[in-house]
């Protein structure tokens, strides 16, 4: 038997399922597990035997009480998870392991909390950090990165360990040696050996794209020997996936590795992570959701991988056999162990290269797919036939054509009407070879491309195939519109419709001849889009509908529309009606007839004397007449109007407003003397009667239970009788009329006269009578006579019939002492107030009793459950009287007082509603007819622990795809909380986390409502779910706008995007591409326009834009390309005049620098007096001789440069230079000296300094000033030193 012990960190899950030929059938192997004996060691030890079963061990717990499941043999590979396989299967020399590429779901067995006896043949729990295993055992630590799965096959079972985890594997058959291992593509296995060549660590990590395969970095081994690890050990193993907080171990397991970057190097071998408690400083990545079935596509992918691996199985077995027979030893060559690292990774890299070659060959086969065939092309549909790739030429791949899938991409519609290809859009994805495309546009060119797929491989797109849909009848037109109308005609017009490839030949207009029977007759059929229908009846409704015709057929009819012809003026209407009547408002309404368009309502108020006045004018059928007087009559009449005129006025009708409710009466007052049972009240009428007479008065009285009506009538006084003496009464009054009920008057308070109180009830015995005293209690009399009771008097009739007063005072109880035990006594009581003393009550007979019982023995408490217990006690010595009842008291906490729990005659009591894991104390006392005895001694007990309480105070925050949860830890009820279960809805699986009170749910849908519930779990069981919390994820970032160029110049581009409105305050980022391919932002803000300057002429620039909001940055837009224009030549300086004569001179100017490959020519213009400039020269020379000038005449010349573009875009003319004025010589003879000086003044034009010259002058000035200052400072320093 070969043994292997694996230790996992707390929180690591180990799950599996048994695969069979039936995809929906699952079986679970039996797992024996027990909790660790020491609470500070939360580790997992699993011993795997050679027969593939898990033998019982003494520690298998993952921190939440859930056991781990084993996996069936890999012979049943029908089920493969749909997610990518990130696990790194490994085969070790001392275990019979085989490669297995699978990723089992996370499922926990519910019956895994039982314990099993210790097996002496299995390994013990993992030792503490720093200890060495037992004698003859060798430990190998396998480090698994976060998000990956480590798979180990033992006999007929596969064990899956999800990262982050450190697996401790114990070999009892000798020291383990390094050996070749097979890993999936893109991953790497790093084996760490000590100075003796014994394998100590195995690191599974993905191959870093920036690190060359086989590159190593120096580290230090566990015994101080120099080691070399690939850089991926420092960057891949301790670093968490993107978006998660790194998994750190504060006890020193990997403190240096947490948070390292991709270029960091570790010095020192990371020791194995111990099994004691771990602290997670941040939320960990979510566990993989459970999967109960796999998709058909994943099965095909698994079969493809198996076919590709079948060809390298023989070579791998030989490599494993050679590595087992001669395990590689670590040898130092001048202190460099790289030779050993190259040997370990050669086998894995060779196998991966063969698989990649096979995949490239299959992808080349998919690219050879033929173009699709198109048939049955109609106006709105077409049949597409796909031809699978030829797979008969490669029989060794065993590819079934039915496994191919296809994608169709279509381009056309508006962009493809002219036959050009537009943007392609996927219209189909599946395994069908015949597809019917529907909802196409008639008479439109379409372009179709396809590609084939096999598992995750995809071929290139085929060449486009073009087809054109057929023409069809036009679209259904819109309903015609009314232009003008008369009594006998209607002018109609309508809009054009889409012809669908065939030109519109005519429009057909039909109407129902005004019969409204649904039968239409054709009235017009021509190409014009308007028609006048004549010979119609006046004031008649006609219904029309329209259809369009072309060479293919007739379209559908439009929606019917009804129009009326003009008519005559309306006739006299009926009088207006009264709809609603109020105190200051009347609502007048009337009926509309077919020939009525508007109405005019007039009102006559006789008190004003203005006659009928217009109060409403419009098409409404009712009007509210406001601000009227109450209880007043008004006259109304109505007139109807239309386009032809107005009708006669209707007959006048009279309507009256309602009266108003009266005012509040005066406050009632008492009339005469107030008696003990009656009194008389009077009141005055209100000042405002509301416009009508008062019909009745209402009087209400309140005796402390609310107001009640005691009188209704027209009289203004009333006698209230049958009252209580000494009682306070409140009265109020109101009045009523036709207008309504008035408000209540102010209340009046009246107090009746008081009398002597009534008889009291017989006194009551307070407690049991004692042997020598007793306690009496009595109550107030039922009737106090209308005045407060001031004193009570108690008398006692002794056994010898003598009477004695035992108490007088205001209290309601007293203690009567000096009694004899077992004697009969009579007691009476009476009350006294300010009006007198009442009668004696009925007597109370009392017999004095014996002594109280002794204290009982301490009660016995037995806990039945965490929430209930039973308390039992024995009967004490009764001291001559039978015990009648027991009083049980309990104490929740030592610092609180005892509280009564039970009182009765039973000798036990069932206590419920206890708190789990809480200390309780109980005591009991007995009572008999003589009294109550002392309490017993206290008895204490502790209730057992229970499942945790519900989670409360949940706080949430969400993004577009995540929800972050934090909550308050609930009551653990005596057992520490191990994990939490999170439920986000019926369509989602239950999420299990560790004991942290925060968690982030990822991969959610944006703008979706989730109901979150949280449940706590401890060693006893699961608690109740919390109240659901409704959470809505945010929206996705916005899409990019369309970019366009508004103005294009030689050195700038003015760009515009969007429609100029930004209600959502989106922020736009405009980026421009560099020559090397990268891009940089040129604008960022909320504007919709930006000008990019400092550009080169005639240069193409690429731009991209994206929008941002609170949800984040949106996607980039497509690349937009814009080009600058050519620049015109610069302006030339003013020309110079030389060789001035009577009729000629020479003009010279500076040449312009060449611009690219274009030639430069010059234009010279001459101006004489007020004439316009005229061109006298155009050429490439920079001077020109002017002739045929007039003597002693003033002229002005200017010159400009012209750029002659060789690309055919035309010439670009620059700005003209400043004009140079000159005057020809005078023909009269003059002094030669004077002539020369004048000529010199004329020829020497004022010359202005350039910017460079001014800069040089300023620089020289500053230099001179600095030299002078330095000299002065030197002189001052010299003078200071001398002095």
* Residue 346 clears pLDDT 60, i.e. is over it: no
Q: State how far Cα 1281 lies from the chain centre.
A: 79
H/E run at residue 407: strand 405-411
126-152: per-residue pLDDT in tens? 333 333 344 456 777 787 777 677 776
Interatomic CA distance for residues 16 and 46, integer angstroms:
15
Cβ atoms < 10 Å from Cβ of 591: 11
Q: Which pLDDT score is estimated for 124?
A: 36
Cβ atoms < 10 Å from Cβ of 340: 20
φ, ψ of residue 365 to 5 degrees: the values are: -65, -40
Q: Which pLDDT score is estimated for 284?
A: 36
| pLDDT level of residue 514 (50, 70, 90 thresholds) | confident
Tell which phi-psi region holds residue 224, choosing left (phi > 0), alpha (psi between -120 and 50) or beta: left
Interatomic CA distance for residues 733 and 744, integer angstroms:
6
Q: Which pLDDT score is estimated for 315?
A: 47
Sign of the CA dihedral running 175, 181, 183, 188 = positive
875-927: per-residue pLDDT in tens? 887 766 788 999 999 988 888 889 998 999 999 999 988 888 888 899 999 99
| pLDDT level of residue 683 (50, 70, 90 thresholds) | very high
Instruction: State the alpha helices, DSSP H only, in 847-974.
Output: none
| Of the candidates 959, 963, 1007, 955, the residue with the CA atom closest to the CA atom of residue 984 | 963
Q: Which pLDDT score is estimated for 867?
A: 85
| Of the candidates 724, 735, 721, 727, the residue with the CA atom closest to the CA atom of residue 668 | 735
Q: Which pLDDT score is estimated for 184?
A: 64
- Least confident stretch, 145-154, 201-210, 924-933: 201-210
Query: What is the secondary structure of 71-102 as a DSSP string?
Result: B--TT------SS---------TTTT------
| Mean pLDDT along residues 328-334 | 34
| pLDDT level of residue 489 (50, 70, 90 thresholds) | very high
* Residue scoring higher pLDDT (91 or 652): 652
Tokens of 289: 């959701």
Tokens of 754: 């008081």
Interatomic CA distance for residues 349 and 342, integer angstroms:
10
Give the global pTM.
0.30
Beta bridge partners of 817: 773
Furthest CA-CA distance within the chain: 181
How many degrees, rounded to 5, is the angle at CA 505 between CA 499 and CA 509?
A: 95
Q: Which value, in Å, is the radius of gyration of the alpha carbons in the chain? A: 54
1054-1073: per-residue pLDDT in tens? 999 988 788 878 899 999 99
* Residue 526 clears pLDDT 50, i.e. is over it: yes
* Residue 669 clears pLDDT 80, i.e. is over it: yes
H/E run at residue 1254: helix 1251-1282
Q: Name the residue with tokens 């020598």.
A: 772
Q: Which pLDDT score is estimated for 226?
A: 35
Mapping DSSP to helix (H, G, I), strand (E, B) and coil, where does residue 308 land?
Answer: helix
Cβ atoms < 10 Å from Cβ of 1041: 18
Percent of the chain at pLDDT exceeding 90 = 33
Interatomic CA distance for residues 1064 and 1057, integer angstroms:
15
Q: Which pLDDT score is estimated for 756?
A: 86
Q: Which pLDDT score is estimated for 31?
A: 30
Q: Which pLDDT score is estimated for 71?
A: 31
Q: Which pLDDT score is estimated for 1233?
A: 53
* Residue 928 clears pLDDT 90, i.e. is over it: no
Q: Which pLDDT score is estimated for 307?
A: 59
* Residue scoring higher pLDDT (239 or 556): 556
How many degrees, rounded to 5, is the angle at CA 835 between CA 829 and CA 836?
A: 35
Helix, strand counts (H, E) of the chain: 6, 81
Burial readout 1050-1071 (b: 16 or more C-beta within 10 A, e: otherwise): eeebebbbbeeeeeeebebbbb
448-465: per-residue pLDDT in tens? 999 999 888 888 999 999
* Residue 435 clears pLDDT 60, i.e. is over it: yes
636 in Cβ contact with 648 (< 8 Å)? no
Interatomic CA distance for residues 958 and 1034, integer angstroms:
7
Q: How far is CA 886 from CA 767, 869, 870, 921, in A?
A: 14, 18, 15, 17
């Amino acid at each position: 038997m070969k043994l292997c012990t694996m230790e996992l960190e707390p929180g690591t899950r180990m799950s599996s399922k048994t695969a069979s030929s039936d995809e929906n059938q699952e079986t679970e192997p039996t797992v024996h597990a027990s909790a660790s004996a020491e609470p500070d060691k939360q580790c997992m030890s699993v011993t795997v035997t050679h027969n593939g079963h898990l033998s019982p061990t003494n520690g298998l717990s993952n921190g939440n009480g859930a056991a781990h499941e084993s996996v069936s043999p890999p012979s049943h590979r029908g089920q493969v998870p749909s997610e990518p396989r990130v696990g790194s299967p490994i085969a070790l020399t001392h275990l019979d392991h085989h490669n297995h590429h699978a990723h089992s779901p996370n499922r926990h067995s519910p019956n895994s909390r039982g314990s099993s006896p210790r097996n002496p043949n299995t390994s013990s729990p993992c030792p503490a950090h720093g200890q060495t295993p037992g004698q003859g055992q060798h430990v190998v630590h396998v480090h698994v990165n976060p998000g990956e799965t480590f798979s180990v096959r033992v006999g007929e079972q596969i064990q899956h360990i999800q990262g982050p985890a450190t697996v401790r594997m114990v070999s009892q058959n000798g020291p383990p040696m390094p050996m070749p291992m097979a890993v999936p593509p893109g991953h790497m296995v790093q084996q760490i050996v000590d100075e003796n060549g014994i394998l100590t660590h195995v690191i599974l990590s993905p191959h870093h794209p920036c690190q060359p395969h086989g590159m190593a970095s120096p580290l230090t081994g566990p015994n101080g020997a120099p080691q070399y690890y690939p850089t991926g050990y420092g960057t891949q193993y301790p670093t968490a996936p993107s978006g998660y907080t790194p998994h750190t171990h504060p006890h020193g397991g990997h403190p240096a590795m947490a948070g390292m970057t991709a270029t960091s190097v570790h010095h020192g071998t990371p020791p194995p992570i111990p099994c004691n408690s771990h602290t997670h400083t941040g939320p960990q990545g979510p566990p993989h959701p459970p999967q109960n079935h796999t998709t058909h596509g994943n099965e095909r992918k698994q079969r493809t991988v198996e076919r590709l691996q079948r060809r390298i199985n023989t070579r791998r077995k030989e490599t494993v056999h050679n590595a087992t027979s001669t395990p590689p030893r670590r040898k130092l060559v001048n202190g460099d162990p790289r030779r050993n690292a190259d040997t370990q990774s050669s086998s894995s890299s060779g196998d991966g290269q063969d698989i990649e070659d096979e995949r490239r060959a299959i992808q080349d086969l998919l690219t050879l797919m033929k173009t699709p065939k198109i048939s049955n092309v109609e106006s709105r549909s077409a049949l597409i036939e796909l031809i699978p790739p030829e797979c008969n030429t490669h029989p060794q791949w065993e590819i079934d054509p039915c496994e191919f899938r296809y994608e169709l991409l279509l381009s056309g519609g508006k962009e493809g009407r002219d036959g050009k290809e537009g943007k392609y859009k996927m219209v189909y994805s599946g395994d069908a070879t015949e597809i019917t495309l529907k909802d196409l546009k008639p008479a439109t060119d379409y372009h179709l491309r396809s590609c084939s797929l096999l598992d995750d491989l995809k071929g290139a797109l085929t060449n486009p195939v073009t087809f054109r849909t057929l023409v069809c009848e036009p679209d259904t037109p819109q309903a015609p519109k009314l232009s003008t109308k008369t009594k006998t005609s209607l002018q109609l017009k309508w809009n054009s419709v889409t012809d669908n490839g065939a030109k519109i030949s005519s429009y057909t207009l039909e109407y129902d001849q005004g019969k409204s029977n649904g039968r239409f007759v054709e009235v017009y059929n021509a190409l014009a889009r308007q028609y006048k229908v004549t010979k119609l009846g006046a004031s008649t409704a006609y219904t029309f509908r329209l259809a369009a015709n072309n060479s293919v057929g007739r379209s559908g009819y439009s929606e019917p529309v009804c129009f009326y012809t003009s008519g005559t003026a309306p006739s006299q209407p009926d009088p207006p009606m009264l709809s609603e009547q109020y105190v200051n408002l009347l609502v007048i309404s009337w009926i509309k007839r077919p020939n009525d368009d508007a109405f005019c309502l007039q009102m006559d108020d006789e008190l004003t004397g203005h006659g009928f006045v217009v109060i409403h004018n419009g098409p409404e059928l009712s009007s509210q007449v406001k601000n009227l007087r109450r209880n007043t009559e008004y006259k109304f009449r109505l007139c109807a109007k239309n386009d032809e005129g107005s009708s006669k006025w209707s007959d006048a009708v009279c309507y009256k407003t309602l009266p108003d409710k009266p005012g509040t009466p005066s406050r009632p007052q008492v009339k005469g003397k107030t008696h003990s049972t009656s009194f008389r009240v009077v009141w005055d009428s209100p000042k405002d009667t509301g416009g009508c007479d008062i019909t009745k008065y209402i009087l209400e009285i309140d005796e402390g239970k609310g107001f009640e009506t005691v009188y209704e009538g027209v009289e203004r006084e009333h006698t209230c009788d049958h009252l209580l003496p000494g009682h306070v009464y409140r009265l109020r009054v109101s009045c009523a009329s036709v207008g309504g009920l008035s408000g209540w008057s102010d209340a009046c308070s009246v107090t009746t006269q008081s009398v002597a109180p009534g008889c009291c009830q017989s006194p009551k015995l307070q407690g049991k009578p004692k042997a020598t005293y007793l306690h009496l209690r009595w109550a107030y009399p039922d009737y106090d006579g209308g005045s407060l009771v001031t004193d009570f008097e108690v008398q006692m009739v002794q056994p010898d019939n003598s009477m004695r007063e035992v108490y007088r005072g205001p209290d309601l109880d007293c203690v009567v002492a000096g009694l004899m035990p077992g004697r009969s006594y009579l007691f009476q009581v009476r009350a006294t107030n300010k009006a007198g003393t009442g009668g004696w009550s009925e007597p109370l007979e009392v017999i004095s009793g014996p002594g109280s019982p002794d204290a009982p023995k301490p009660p016995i408490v037995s806990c039945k459950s965490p929430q209930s217990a039973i308390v039992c006690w024995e009967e004490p010595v009764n001291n001559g009287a039978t015990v009648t009842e027991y009083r049980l008291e309990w104490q929740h906490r030592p610092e609180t007082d005892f509280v009564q729990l039970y009182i009765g005659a039973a000798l036990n009591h069932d206590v419920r509603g206890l708190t789990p894991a809480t200390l309780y104390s109980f005591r009991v006392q007995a009572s008999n007819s003589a009294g109550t005895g002392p309490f017993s001694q206290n008895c204490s007990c502790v209730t057992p622990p229970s499942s945790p309480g519900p989670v409360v105070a949940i706080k949430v925050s969400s993004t577009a795809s995540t929800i972050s949860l934090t909550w308050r830890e609930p009551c653990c009820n005596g057992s520490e909380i191990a994990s939490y279960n999170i439920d986000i809805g019926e369509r989602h699986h239950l999420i299990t986390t560790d004991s942290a009170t925060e968690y982030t749910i990822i991969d959610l849908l944006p703008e979706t409502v989730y109901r979150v519930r949280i449940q706590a779990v401890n060693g006893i069981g699961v608690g109740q779910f919390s109240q659901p919390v409704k959470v809505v994820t945010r929206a996705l970032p916005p899409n990019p706008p369309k970019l366009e160029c508004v103005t294009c110049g030689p050195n700038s581009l003015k760009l515009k995007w969007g429609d100029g409105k930004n209600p959502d305050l989106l922020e736009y980022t405009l980026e421009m591409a560099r020559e090397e391919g990268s891009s940089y932002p040129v604008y960022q803000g909320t504007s919709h326009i930006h000008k990019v300057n400092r550009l080169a002429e005639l240069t193409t620039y690429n731009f991209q834009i994206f929008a941002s909001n609170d949800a984040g940055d949106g996607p980039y837009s497509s690349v937009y390309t814009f080009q600058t224009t050519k620049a015109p030549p610069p302006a030339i300086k003013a020309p110079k005049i030389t060789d001035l004569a009577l009729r000629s001179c020479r003009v010279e100017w500076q040449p312009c620098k060449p611009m690219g490959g274009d030639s430069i020519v010059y234009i010279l213009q001459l101006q004489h007096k007020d004439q316009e400039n005229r061109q006298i020269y155009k050429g490439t020379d920079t001077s020109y001789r002017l002739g045929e000038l007039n003597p002693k005449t003033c002229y002005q010349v200017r010159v400009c440069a012209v750029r002659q573009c060789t690309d055919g875009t035309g010439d670009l003319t620059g700005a003209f230079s400043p004009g140079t004025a000159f005057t020809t010589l005078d023909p009269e003879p003059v002094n030669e000296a004077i002539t020369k000086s004048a000529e010199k003044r004329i020829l020497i034009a004022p010359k202005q300094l350039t910017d460079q010259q001014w800069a040089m002058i300023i620089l020289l000035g500053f230099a001179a000033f600095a030299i002078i200052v330095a000299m002065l400072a030197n002189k001052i320093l010299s003078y200071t030193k001398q002095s």
